[in-house]
Chain A
Amino acid sequence: MSRARWIATGVLIAVFVLALFASALAPASYAKQFRNDTDHPPSSQFPLGTDELGRDRLSRLLYGMRISLLLAPAAALISTALAALVGGAGAYMGGKWDRATNVFIDLFLSLPWLFLLLTLRALLPLDIPAVTSVVVTFALLGILGWAASARIVAASVRSIRTSEFLLQARAAGCKPSRLLLRHVLPNVKPILLAQFWISVPLFILTEANLGMLGLGVTEPLPSWGNLLRELENYTALRHSPWLWVPLLSLVLVVSLFQFALGAEEPA
């Protein structure tokens, strides 16, 4: 691993720790309103100022980061598990199962998943509680975001299925369960891990997009998506540059993921 990737991973871990201890580090609760200090500019009491409801922006950012950084990996776990189940099982069984799985994956990939996500998220009841909206948003991300990973997993399992070592193991009388657990899974593990880590920043960005469209995590819970909605007040952006901080932190975290995954290295 290069030095830049080590640094990126280190900073990313630091951001995770910061977000994890949001409740201890944040100056106030994300929902606490300072009604006498609405739209307050940055000060020693409110380092990033307060929003129009008088809530401390720094606290909301820390809590929002915690929600996005903890739940995006959870969604990535769901999507990777589904990718392994659908893509892996189909390719392992081979024949018509493999063909059927391929068609199913292609079908899912033919629809932009943001469209599906938008559709399903919008169909939720209008008065959904904030905590439920968080869980549902990230669960939908996980449930609908498996197809691209499944195609890669299927290709990998297909090549393992036809490999010589598996043929030898089969000829030696290995049971199918043992073949799967001892020979296939350990070889697919690096692919699954890579897909998991690639999905995390993707889900963070998708939640941010949904949040900006008003279909992500609902108030009063903060998330990167709904924190970015403040950018829509673009007349205020000129004299309140601190409103850009949620976006800058999002770009920083997603860039760190890119660096840590090695995507930033020139070929």
Chain B
Amino acid sequence: MRMVRIIGRHLLIILITALVGGLLGATLVRLAPGFGIQESDLDAQLSAETREALHKEDAGERNVLSYYGNYLGNLIHGDLGYSRSMDRPVSELFRDRFPETAESVVIGVAGGWLFGLALAIPASWKRAPIYSTSATLVSGVFLCIPSAVLALTFLVIGSPGKLAIALVVFPKVFRFSRNLLVKTYTMPHVLTARARGLSSARIFGWHILPNIAAPMLALAGVTVSIAFAAAIPVEVVCDSPGLGQLAWKAALSRDLPLLVNLTLVIAIVTVAANSFSELLSPTATRDVL
């Protein structure tokens, strides 16, 4: 029963954050300098009447609250609106593009964790200064390269650009997990286990893993949002037809319905990932038990 309450609370938080996030996105877009300026204004071939008609068409978007109210009303009926710049219903665009971004994010998160842990575990295990320093330097270098440049590098060498997301995620995973592992390996009960001659695998499985599980799960949620943010420049540079590229196109063409929907989706994914990792963490489980 308590678990159901916790899940219910998290779902409510996701819903509220998504709704307020959508409104925030719409408000920011509305208040941004330059809102209302259309490319058609620069088209000399259009008459003043045509331009006025086009502006009238957008008049509904001027008042954020009424726009957002109408949007939510339509959303309940499954209508996400129509993208003017892409000339297609938003739901159709999302259906086509979401799998591409989801695949990029999954590859990015999985690759980042794999690479990060593959470097962090031996670094905390062996404590050899040369290994530790080289691993730190490698992660430090990737931390200093813009994700768009990483994507470009993958493009140049003919590898899938999605892997660039893994290199954006990896330094964060490496640093966090290495510091956590080093700290856990110096805890008194671990030192005692070592002194008693327990095998490294047993120490890791029985004494290290339970201690690091909660913060690592919290990091898992954060890495999803990092990967989602990195997908924007990566998809633009690699010309991948995903939500990141769609966000860029929507921003460039000032497509308010598309931007509000994207804000909503991104907020839901980020908050859901954080809530999911929080729910799975042993602290939450302990609360339930």
Could you list which residues of chain A lie within 8 angstroms of chain B, going by C-beta atoms?
A: 106-108, 110-116, 118-126, 136, 201, 205, 208-209, 212-213, 215, 228, 231-232, 234, 237, 247, 250-251, 254-255, 258, 263-267
Please give me the 3 A-B residue pairs with the lowest Cβ-Cβ distance, nearest first: A112-B229, A122-B251, A254-B144
The reply to whether B178 and A107 contact each other, CB–CB distance below 8 Å, is no
A161 CB, nearest partner CB in chain B, Å:
25
The answer for the CA separation of A124 and B146 in the assembled complex, in Å, is 23
Q: Are B252 and A122 in contact (CB under 8 A)?
A: yes
Whether B228 contacts A112 by the Cβ 8 Å rule is yes
Using a CB–CB cutoff of 8 Å, the interface residues on chain B facing chain A are 17, 20-21, 24-25, 28-29, 32-35, 37, 39, 42, 123, 129, 132-133, 136-137, 140-141, 143-149, 152, 155-156, 175, 178-179, 182-183, 225, 228-229, 232-233, 236-237, 247-248, 250-252, 254, 259, 262-263, 266-267, 270-271, 274
Interface of A is mostly: helix
Say yes or no: A107 contacts B20, CB within 8 Å.
yes
Tell me the minimal C-beta distance from A150 to chain B in angstroms: 15
Q: A107-B17, A124-B33 are in contact. Are A213 and B136 (CB under 8 A)?
A: no
Task: Give min CB distance, B1 to chain A, whole Å.
Answer: 26
Is there an interface contact between B233 and A110, defined as CB atoms closer than 8 Å? no
Residues on B with beta carbons closer than 8 Å to the beta carbon of A110: 17, 21, 225, 267, 270-271, 274
Residue in B152, B236, B251 whose CB lies within 8 Å of A234: B152
A251 lies within 8 A of B17 (CB): no
CA distance A136 to B34 in the complex (A): 12
Chain B: CB-nearest residue to A264: B140
Q: Find chain B residues with CB under 8 A from A111 CB.
A: 21, 24-25, 263, 266-267, 270
Given contact pairs A111-B263, A112-B228, A267-B182, A228 touches B28 in the complex (Cβ within 8 A): no
Structural contact, B233 and A209, CB atoms closer than 8 A: yes
Total number of residue pairs linking A and B with CB closer than 8 Å? 141
Complex contact B33–A228 (CB within 8 A):
no
Contact A258 B155 (CB under 8 A): no
Q: Which of B149, B228, B233, B263 contacts A231 (CB 8 A)?
A: B149
A residues within 8 A CB of B252? 122
Contact of B34 among A108, A124, A254 (CB under 8 A): A124
Q: How far is the CA of A232 from the CA of B28 in the complex (A)?
A: 31
Chain A residues within an 8 Å CB radius of B24: 107-108, 111
CB contacts (< 8 Å) of B233 on chain A: these are 114, 209, 212-213
Inside 8 A of B259's CB, which chain A residues have their CB?
119
A126 vs B156: C-alpha distance when bound (angstroms): 30
Task: Given contact pairs A119-B29, A232-B237, A264-B137, enumerate 19 new A-B contacts (beta carbons under 8 Å).
Answer: A106-B17, A107-B21, A110-B225, A110-B271, A115-B229, A118-B247, A118-B248, A120-B29, A120-B32, A121-B251, A123-B33, A123-B35, A124-B32, A212-B148, A213-B248, A215-B251, A250-B146, A254-B143, A255-B144
Contact between chains at A234 and B178 (CB < 8 Å) = no
